[in-house]
Amino acid sequence: MTSEAERRFRADMVRGVERLKREIGYNATRFLRMVGEYGGAGAARHLLTGRDASDGFTTLWEHRRLEMSVEAHVLLPWYRELFSEAQLGTAERRLREHCFDVDAFLTQSGRNWPAWAQQEHGEDALG
């Protein structure tokens, strides 16, 4: 059974790919195939297994759009439960190694919990 968080994560990944294609002309066809095959969280877990970041991560870094990366999304408080501590650590390490301000990103994101996550997480969502 797929959780609400898993469904929302997948939808966020697909919307993100569409947005990146529109905004920077990046067409993440391999990633979309992975999402189709493994689901959104499964594709993210797969990308977080290696030492090095994916080509897509590098493209986002080159365009200064790491806030749209899988690595940034897995760190969002409402998605953290889908990933292991090791996977979360890998995501954070990659972002920090590329001079992404993880703390500022999470602070800003934490102010904007989606309604579905507020309902699932109750008072935890409100800080």
For 113-125, write each residue's pLDDT tens digit: 888 877 766 655 5
| Angstrom distance (rounded) from CA 98 to CA 7 | 29
The stretch 2-28 carries a mean pLDDT of 94
* DSSP 8-state secondary structure symbol assigned to residue 53: P
State the angle between helix axes of 40-47 and 29-38 in degrees (0 to 180), rounded to the nearest 10.
120
Whole-number pLDDT of residue 125: 54
Integer Cα distance of 53 and 68 in angstroms:
14
Entry pTM: 0.89
- Encode 41-50: b = buried (16+ Cβ within 10 Å), e = exposed: bbbbbebbee
Mean pLDDT, rounded, for 13-17: 95
Q: Which DSSP state fits 94?
A: H
Give pLDDT tens digits for 72-81: 999 999 999 9
Domain boundaries, the chain: 4-105
